[in-house]
Chains A and B, each alone.
Chain A
Amino acid sequence: MGGSASQLPRDLLGEYQELTFLTKQEILLAHKRFSELLSKEERESILQKRVPKSKILTLPELRANPFRDRICRVFSTSEDGDGSMSFEDFLDMLSVFSDSATSEIKSHYAFRIFDFDDDGTLDRKDLEKLVNCLTGEGDETRLSESEMDQLIQNFLQDRAVMALRPF
């Protein structure tokens, strides 16, 4: 593992392997990437620190993603609701997005990511925001009012969607 100042203790590594879908290499790599986001002094106590959302969003994998804000917010366990992530939140996020995660857990978190107002339902406002994220903010690519209405109407009437409503 080299001579990095803070290494993960082995039992903690084993525990993370049990609790997430990540392999040992992936956890160590995540550790390295996470510690790069912290300043030098903070790296000693990496497990207790929280990285602010602005720094997380500098990661190249998240930088361009239209859903980056939601991803940070969903996986963050910060009580202030500011979207800051601890190392364990970071691992949770990587675990859900990894290839070995089951589709149930992926769909669970996908729902939460798409639920922009966090009210447990995907209502019209959520769907509008979702479509805007998908099509981008450019003037040419945005959908007009009427197109948005029609799209959401089609969506809500889709047979699959109707069938999956709980009761």
Chain B
Amino acid sequence: MTYHYNEAFENPDYRYSETLEIDRSRERNSSFLQNHHDSSLDDDSLYDSYEGGRGQRNQDYPMASMQPGFRYSHSASRPNTNPYGNPHTNPSFEYEPEFAYTSPSTFHAGDGPYVRRASDMSDGGSFSQSYNRRQADLVYRMPSSLLRLDSNAETYDKDKYKHEEKLIKNLASISSKERVKAIQKTPKTMKEKRDIRNKVLMEKTKKSVSSSTQINCCTQCLYKTALSYQRFKNGMSEYLHLLQLWQKTLKVIGGKFGTSVLSYFVFLKWLLTFNIFSFLVNFSFITIPQLIASGPNNLSFNGLELLTGAGYFKKTVLYYGFYTNSTITKTENNSSYDMQLAYIFTIGIYFIICFFSLVYSMAKSFRKNFINPQTYSGSAAKLLCIWDFNITNEKAVKLKQSNLSTQIKESLSEVTLEVLNLSPKQRIARIAVHLLVWMASLGIAAACCAGVYFFSRNNLQLLEGNKSELENEAATLVLPIVVSLLNLLIPFCFALFGLIEKFQYPRHQLYATVIRNVFLKIAIIGILCYYWLNDVATSEKECWESLVGQDIYRLIVIDFIFCLLASFFGEFVRRIIGTKCCKKLGVPEFDIARNVLDLIYTQTLAWIGIFFAPLMPAMQIISFFIIFYVKKVSLMRNCQPPRKVWRASQMTTLFIFLLFFPSFTGVLSVMAVIIWRRTPSKQCGPFQGLTSIIDAVSGWMHILDSYSSSKWVVWIYYNLIGSVHFFFILTVIVLIITYLYWQIIEGRRIMVRLLHEQIINRSSSSYQPYRRAALQMTASIERPFGRNGRDFYVEPSSARIPEKTSLPPADTEGCQPGISETLALALRARQQAEWEMEDNDDEDFRP
């Protein structure tokens, strides 16, 4: 019983039963025997750790599908009889994420990979890598094997088997989650992975049998709960999958238009989750209690409310003004619900969760895209990484191919023009034009702000005016319409600047456009916030928060309408014009940047609006849904896939950053000003009568003070949150840690650069002693041939990744070969020392 139980525990990830895995795998092995013949062809790959049945496969090497670490020459079709095992095995292959090219005839027995990524210690890549190196070491230590063919074949097999055993033992010793991940990451066929896994499990049961002692029932209970919790989690994740929205649509869009257009829709979906979460939270904690304790609404409803948000809606849960400041009690039980605290804490906690979620997404995105020690620009990255495997539509594939062809041809012809040696005069002229355009865009943005401010003051006066109610309300729509028009038309203006302004790289043009548009939108929102916080809040209006809420409601609704109109005119009509009237224009492309910035703008407004109109997220949800479908239909019918290469992941990072930095932080500052610096209105809302909103919390702290059990909360509030010293010390600590990390990153960057150079240096010569001499020689030689030293290449005819027999000078930014040589030798010595250490203990496989 104990034995069975151990097995079940040790494989909590084995989701469906608790019987012995070994038994099951044995049964299955028998039924899979006939599949043995379908085994893979990577016989002699160093990753192949499955020993059984290899004897049967000696004869046929039909396709020799090779692992990149393995250079298989067709002449040596019997690796078993080969003295080195595999003369063309390159054990020094480094499992880099970029592509590695094996040099055809060089065999460096002794040089192991000396760059080991410490972060991937537990994944299959580093296993196999270290495995390669062990292999290499073993072979290197058998120099006399050159003459003894057959016996060495056996030794080779035996060693391979021994290594495989070691690998399995190491896999067995790590936790099961890591093991699963490691096996998943090995680039082998399913069959081989399964065999490795079975062997590891056998190993584990052997270990557990030998070391299992009496497990007391306490631990048994714990294991049982762990297992059932695991199963519960797995079940949940299956159902969570069903909640995924729009999976199929996104796949279709990605298939037809590529990853870049898809990134817009993914961003939209991501913003939608923020709104859904906010709506659920606000509705449950703020609105529902209010609905229970609400009064009657005696205002009339006419259709204009949907646009203006005023009128009937004034006395509904939509706005801040409707919420009471009392504590809501049900008559049956005594528990009361303090509306003030609920309001402020719900919104506060929502923003805190948003903050952490944004920071997390941003950091993850940065890590994927920007923190790259060397950005691989240039033709290599272009060729190897450029194909978008997402595209499945035949027409789209042809289009992409023609685009790529154009780009490649353009870049080939531009290579000579790349380094534009501009004369100083031209350079100054260019800079002058840049400055002029920037001044112009800033000026336009400032002019827009002034206009908006004028209209908004106008708006305020209208509310005091004595025209009829309906006209007043209709006139309040002027401000939102003006703002939306500006948002729509000014970006076109900025795009026109592109005609005057010439950039060296198209990427810079894109960034410049994005920054200008962001600046415009943030300026408009900023001036509106200033108007709300300074003019509306301090005016003596009856319920200024509700007024602000109504303003925001109108802005969002009109913006939504304009977005639909822009989609109609910008895409549909443009397509008609492009195909029927003016054929030269062609079908429009989907403008990703403009659309994403529109989304960010709307989301910023919605976030500001949450405080003043708690049900604003509901409107956002509806509008995002409609926008998604409208944009999708418009895209499918009217647009063509983008022509330029758009680095989708980098742009997504930029957009998430923009969502965080001006947008969300701006919202937080506005909230801070409202909560700490503005007096709430006296007659409406949950905070009526208080001098500032934060007084609600302080009041509560006073109340808590009287209870002895919650004194710690009060202590935290007064001494940690309320005190300046705490924040000061915290800031200093955070700054110190940030500085330390920064220095560590700098150090690592230098290390990577040096190693990079070392690799370039090493790639030329065959083995150590010659290389050392060569290095010393070149240390004293100036660069004779420069970077394009094609004279070094030995095989011009085959023109492979060429073999260099002598050392070209490392193409560096001024790094001395001498220094790098010394460092290289030092690094090498250190690496050798490390290997010796590792040979003695097996710690390297543990994560």
A121 CA to B105 CA, complexed, in Å: 11
In the complex, what residues of B have CB within 8 A of residue A134's CB?
A: 383, 386-387, 401, 404-405, 408
Seen from chain A, the residues whose Cβ lies within 8 Å of a Cβ on chain B are 10-21, 23-25, 48, 50, 60-61, 63-67, 73-74, 77-81, 86, 88-89, 91-92, 95, 97, 102-105, 107-112, 114-115, 118-124, 127, 130-131, 133-136, 138, 140-143, 147, 150-152, 154-167
Known interface pairs A11-B16, A21-B184, A91-B190; A107-B97 also in contact (CB < 8 Å): yes
Bits for B1-31, please: 1 = Cβ < 8 Å to A, else 0. 0000000000001111100000010001000
Residues of A within 8 A of B412 (CB): 147, 150-151, 154
Contacts of A165 in B (CB 8 A): 100-101, 103, 759, 763, 801
Q: Which candidate, B56-64, B430-438, B507-515, B688-696, is the interface stretch facing chain A?
A: B56-64
Whether the pair A161, B101 counts as a contact (CB closer than 8 A) is yes
- Closest chain B CB from A156 CB (angstroms): 6
B72/A120 in contact, CB under 8 A: yes
Beta-carbon contact of B67 and A143 below 8 Å: no
B799's partner among A19, A123, A154 (CB-CB below 8 A) is: A123
B676 located at the interface, meaning its Cβ lies under 8 Å from any Cβ of chain A in the complex: no
Interfacial chain B residues near A79, Cβ < 8 Å: 37-39, 41, 60, 62
In the complex, chain B residues whose CB is within 8 Å of the CB of A18: 13-14, 180, 183-184, 197
Q: Mark B369-399, 1 if CB is under 8 A from A, else 0.
A: 0000010101111011011010111101110
Q: Which residue of A lies closest to B759 (CB)?
A: A163
Instruction: List 20 additional A-B contacts (Cβ < 8 Å) besides A77-B189, A150-B415, A165-B101.
Output: A23-B241, A25-B241, A48-B34, A67-B389, A77-B38, A79-B62, A108-B67, A114-B384, A120-B102, A123-B799, A133-B387, A135-B401, A135-B408, A151-B383, A154-B378, A154-B379, A157-B787, A163-B763, A165-B801, A166-B93
A19 and B190 contact, CB distance less than 8 A: yes
CA distance A107 to B380 in the complex (A): 14
B residues at A contact (CB < 8 Å) = 13-17, 24, 28, 34-35, 37-41, 60, 62-68, 70-72, 90, 92-104, 106, 108, 111, 120, 123, 125, 180, 183-185, 187, 189-191, 193-194, 197, 237-238, 241, 255, 374, 376, 378-381, 383-384, 386-387, 389, 391-394, 396-398, 401-402, 404-406, 408-409, 412, 415, 756, 759-760, 762-763, 765, 787-788, 798-802, 811
Which residue of B66, B187, B197 contacts A109 across the interface (Cβ within 8 Å)? B187
- Asked whether A105 lies within 8 Å of B185 as measured between CB atoms, the reply is yes
The answer to whether A164 and B65 touch (CB under 8 A), given A143-B405, A156-B801, is no
| B380 neighbours in A (Cβ, 8 Å) | 155, 158, 160-161
Are A166 and B92 in contact, CB atoms less than 8 angstroms apart?
A: yes
Q: Enumerate 25 A-B pairs (CB-CB under 8 Å) in ascending A order.
A: A15-B194, A18-B13, A61-B255, A64-B394, A73-B65, A86-B35, A89-B190, A97-B389, A102-B123, A105-B187, A108-B187, A115-B66, A119-B66, A121-B103, A131-B408, A134-B383, A135-B408, A141-B402, A141-B405, A147-B412, A162-B760, A165-B763, A166-B94, A167-B111, A167-B762
Task: Name A143's contact: one of B190, B396, B409 (CB within 8 Å).
Answer: B409
Complex alpha-carbon distance, A32 and B16, angstroms: 21
Closest beta carbon of chain A to B110's beta carbon, Å:
11
- Closest CB in chain B relative to A61 CB, distance in Å: 5
Q: Are A122's CB and B190's CB within 8 A?
A: no
Q: Is the CB of B788 within 8 A of A157?
A: yes
Q: Complex Cα distance A62/B625, Å?
A: 31
| Cross-chain contact B41 with A77 (CB below 8 angstroms) | yes
Q: Are A163 and B72 CB-contacts (below 8 A) given A97-B389, A103-B97, A124-B799? A: no
- Give me the 4 closest cross-chain CB pairs, A-B, nearest first: A136-B401, A141-B405, A135-B405, A123-B800
By a CB distance below 8 angstroms, the chain A residues around B71 are 119-121
Given contacts A134-B386, A159-B378, whether A164 and B759 have CB atoms under 8 Å apart is yes
Cα–Cα distance between A62 and B387 once the two chains are bound (Å): 14
Give bound CA distance, A102 to B187, whole Å: 11
- The reply to whether A14 and B14 contact each other, CB–CB distance below 8 Å, is yes
Q: Within the assembled complex, what's the spacing in Å between the Cα atoms of A122 and B101?
A: 6
State A101–B65 Cα separation when bound (angstroms). 21
Contacts of A123 in B (CB 8 A): 798-801
Query: A residues within 8 A CB of B397?
Result: 64-66
Q: Chain B: which residue is nearest A80 at the CB level?
A: B62
Whether A158 lies near B65 (C-beta < 8 A) is no
Report chain B residues within 8 Å CB of A107: 96-99
- Complex CA gap A134/B415 in Å reads 20
**Bound-state Cα–Cα, A163 to B763, Å:** 8
A74, B759: Cβ atoms closer than 8 Å: no
Of A23, A61, A142, A162, which is in contact with the most chain B CB atoms at under 10 Å from its CB?
A162
Q: How distant is A164 from chain B, measured CB to nearest CB, in Å?
A: 5
Tell me how far the C-beta of B844 lies from the nearest C-beta in chain A, rounded to whole angstroms. 18
In the bound complex, CA of A134 to CA of B72 (Å): 27
- Please state if A167 and B101 are interface contacts (CB–CB under 8 Å): no
Residues of A contacting B60 with CB < 8 Å?
Answer: 79
Q: Which residues on B sit within 8 Å (CB–CB) of A95? A: 184
Is B387 a contact of A67 with CB atoms below 8 Å?
A: yes
Chain A residues positioned under 8 Å from B392 (CB to CB): 60-61, 63-65
Chain B residues with CB below 8 A from A120, complex form: 66-68, 70-72, 102
Bound-state Cα–Cα, A130 to B384, Å: 9
Which residues of chain B are near A119, meaning CB under 8 Å?
64, 66, 71-72
Specify the chain A residue showing the minimal Cβ separation from B187: A108
A23 to B392 alpha-carbon distance, docked (Å): 22
Complex Cα–Cα for A35 and B765 (A): 53
A143 to B762, CA, bound (A): 34
Q: Is there an interface contact between B415 and A124, defined as CB atoms closer than 8 Å?
A: no
Chain B hits for A141, CB < 8 A: 401-402, 405-406
Residues of A within 8 A of B801 (CB): 121-123, 156, 161, 165
The answer on a CB contact under 8 Å between B100 and A166 is yes
Among B28, B197, B393, the residue within 8 A (CB) of A64 is: B393
Does the CB pair B763–A160 fall under 8 Å?
no
Instruction: Please report the C-alpha to C-alpha distance between residue A134 and residue B180 in the assembled complex, in whole angstroms.
Output: 36
Which residue from chain A places its CB closest to the CB of B808 in the assembled complex?
A: A162
Residue of A at shortest CB range from B376? A160
A92 and B190 in contact, given A60-B392, A104-B185, A123-B801 (Cβ under 8 angstroms): yes
CB distance from B526 to the nearest CB of A (A): 38
In whole Å, how far is B416's beta carbon from the nearest beta carbon of chain A?
10
Assess whether A50 is in contact with B38, with CB atoms less than 8 Å apart. Answer: yes
Question: A99 to chain B: closest CB distance in Å?
Answer: 10
Give Cα distance in the complex from A123 to B798, angstroms: 8
Give every chain B residue within 8 A of A61 (Cβ-Cβ): 255, 392
Q: Which A residue sits closest to B251, measured CB to CB?
A: A61
Query: What residues of B have a CB within 8 angstroms of the CB of A108 in the complex?
Result: 67-68, 95, 187
Q: How far is the CB of B391 from chain A (nearest CB, A)?
A: 7
Determine the distance from Cα of A111 to Cα of B95 in the docked complex, in whole angstroms.
12
> How far does the alpha carbon of A132 sit from the alpha carbon of B679 in the complex, in Å?
69
**Are B389 and A166 in contact, CB atoms less than 8 angstroms apart?**
no
Task: Identify the closest chain A residue to B194 (Cβ).
Answer: A19
Chain A min CB distance to B99 (Å)? 5
A121–B189 touching, CB < 8 Å:
no
Given contacts A74-B65, A163-B756, contact A111 B99 (CB under 8 A): yes
Q: Are A73 and B187 in contact (CB under 8 A)?
A: no
Q: Which residue of A lies closest to B27 (CB)?
A: A11
Q: Which residues of B contact A151 (CB under 8 A)?
A: 379, 383, 408, 412
User: What are the residues of chain A within 8 A of B241 when measuring CB–CB?
Assistant: 23, 25
Question: Which residue of B70, B386, B394 has the most chain A CB atoms within 10 A of its CB atom?
Answer: B394
Interface centre among B67, B95, B111, B383 (most CB of A within 10 A): B383
Closest to B381 in A: A160
A159 to B68, Cβ gap below 8 A?
Answer: no
- The answer to whether A163 touches B185, judged by C-beta atoms less than 8 angstroms apart, is no
Are B92's CB and A118's CB within 8 A?
A: no
Docked Cα-Cα span, A41 to B359, in Å, equals 54
Q: Which residue of A lies closest to B395 (CB)?
A: A64
B185 contact set on A, CB distance < 8 A? 102, 104-105
Please, which residues of chain B bring their CB within 8 A of the CB of A73? 63, 65
Closest approach, in angstroms, between the C-beta of B153 and any C-beta of chain A? 21
The listed residue (A127, A142, A164) touching B405 by CB distance below 8 A is A142
